[in-house]
Amino acid sequence: MTLQIATDVDGVATSSALSRGGTWLAAVFLSATFVIAALFIPVTGRFEIAIGLAGLAVTGFGVIAALRTTGFARAIVFTVAACAGLYVFAFISASVSVSEGGGAPSSDYVLLSMPEFAVLVVGIAARSLARSLTLGTLAFVLGAGGVQLAAWQAGMALAVDIPVVASYLALCLSVSALWIGRRDAARGTALMSGAALAEERDVAVARFNARATSWLHDTVLADLRALAALPPGELDDATRQALDRDLANLADVSLVLDAPGLGGSVSRALAKVPALVGVVRDAEQQGLELVVTGDVEALNELGSAVTRSLERAISECLLNVLQHSGVREAEIAVMSSPPEVSVMVSDSGSGFDVNETGDHTVGLRMVVVDSLAEIGGSVQIWSRPGAGTAVFMTVPVAA
């Protein structure tokens, strides 16, 4: 959109990110449980633990499938499957613990708690708060409830698993907070999108209009005036050609609208390179007209420290153009030559003597040269009085 601010319009990106995060969370808890339980096979010699591990694997698949699916009914089925797998694991683990004797733990012990945590996240990526809470509650009732049931059936002492109950409540709260925030953000998003699109429309139509009227003024109107001034008689070749051109363009106005610059401002062309958007916007706000060329996407490969230093350096160069060059136009050219990226900021202004110490050079030396030197970059400055200035900055891709 015009404002160069992307928004997660319908929450798809957030849901997908929650799904990915939940997958990792569940995977770590289930893996830790799996490793610990597997360690007990050689220690106890109880090979039925392997069946429990199979149940744990089913739990893992169920949780991940529930997180990834977009269908609510399927999510419920996967959640039930995950809880069934957890029940099998809990029953076998509890049975082994009880039969091994020697201070058997109660039903809130950590080997059962960790997979319960994993199951609780099944609802976080659902596409509505109600569905999210429903799935989370289902997982809590069937998962934590199933573990208690299995422990009871195995003769294990029962205990309320406070961390699991607290985690369930915390998840409900967190998901609610996210959804409420998302609702507010969605309202803002809708307004912004509408405003930006309306603005795009106005600006585009205005540009087309301006281009068309300018063309009409310079051609058709000028030719009509020329005809009005001509004496009666045969038309000369130049007049015939002008009339042919006018009639051809009026027959296909799209030719008139193919002129460059009708697409939008410089900052809008930089959608892929957020690092430059702020710099360009600031410079435009101060009245500079910028042309950005070259392999601008190479800037996305830079490390954050390098990006920050380069942003500062480019800003300083543009500030120098504004303050000292006497012109309002500048160019930023980006060149990629791995493992380095080079950026040249140039203008065709008044220029200066690079060997002199003055206002022109202090900022460049202090900010540009020093800050880029800190991150392993280098700077070359070409300038002569009356011949413009070019600052060529080279930075390493990784620093």
Partner 1 sequence: MNPRSVRPPRGSTALELDPLGAISARGFLVVVAAVSLLCAVGLTITTADQVSSWPLAVAALSSLVAGYAWFLRSAFRFDHGVTSDRFSIAFALVAVATVLNSLSCLGSNIVVRDDWGLLTVGLVLVAAAPFRTYNELRGYTAVAGAGTGLLAVLHGFASLGDGIPLPVTVLVAVAPALAMGLASVAYARQLLHGIYAERLQQADDRDAQIDELRRRFVDDDVVGEIGSLRSDVVPFLARVRSAGRLTAEDSARAAELAQTLSAAISASRMLDSLGDHVDLLVDESGLSLRMHEDDRATLRTLLVALQDSPHTRPGSVILELLEGESDRFGSVRCASDDVRALRADVTPFLRMTRLMFRSASEQVVGEELLVQFDIDRLA
359 binds partner 1 (CB under 8 A): no
Binding test (CB under 8 A) with partner 1, winner from 9, 38, 76, 84? 9
348 binds partner 1 (CB under 8 A): no
The single-letter code of the amino acid at 334 is V
Distance CA 351, CA 384 (A): 5
CA-wise closest residue to 158 among 144, 177, 171, 169: 144
Distance CA 373, CA 335 (A): 19
Q: Would you put residue 184 in left (φ > 0), alpha (ψ -120 to 50) or beta? A: alpha
DSSP string, 220-232: IIHHHHHHHHSPS
- Residues 232-261, mask of contacts with partner 1 (x by CB under 8 A): xxxx----x--xx-xx--x-xxx-xx----
Task: Find residue 393's DSSP bridge partners.
Answer: 343, 379
Diameter over CA atoms, the chain: 121
119 binds partner 1 (CB under 8 A): no
90 binds partner 1 (CB under 8 A): no
Binding test (CB under 8 A) with partner 1, winner from 153, 286, 323, 380? 286
159 binds partner 1 (CB under 8 A): no
Query: Is 315 in contact with 282 (CB distance < 8 Å)?
Result: yes
Binding test (CB under 8 A) with partner 1, winner from 67, 86, 88, 275? 275
**Number of residues lying near partner 1 (CB under 8 A):** 123
Binding test (CB under 8 A) with partner 1, winner from 50, 51, 141, 180? 180
Give the count of alpha carbons within 13 A of 150, CB side only: 26
8 binds partner 1 (CB under 8 A): yes
Binding test (CB under 8 A) with partner 1, winner from 170, 291, 366, 387? 170
333 binds partner 1 (CB under 8 A): no
346 binds partner 1 (CB under 8 A): no
Binding test (CB under 8 A) with partner 1, winner from 54, 163, 348, 396? 163
Considering only residues 92 to 111 of the shown chain, the ones binding partner 1 according to CB under 8 A are 110
R_g of the chain computed on alpha carbons: 34
Give the count of alpha carbons within 13 A of 247, CB side only: 6
Considering only residues 53 to 82 of the shown chain, the ones binding partner 1 according to CB under 8 A are none
- Residues 183-212, mask of contacts with partner 1 (x by CB under 8 A): -xx--xx-xx-xxxxxxxxxxxxx-xxx-x
396 binds partner 1 (CB under 8 A): no
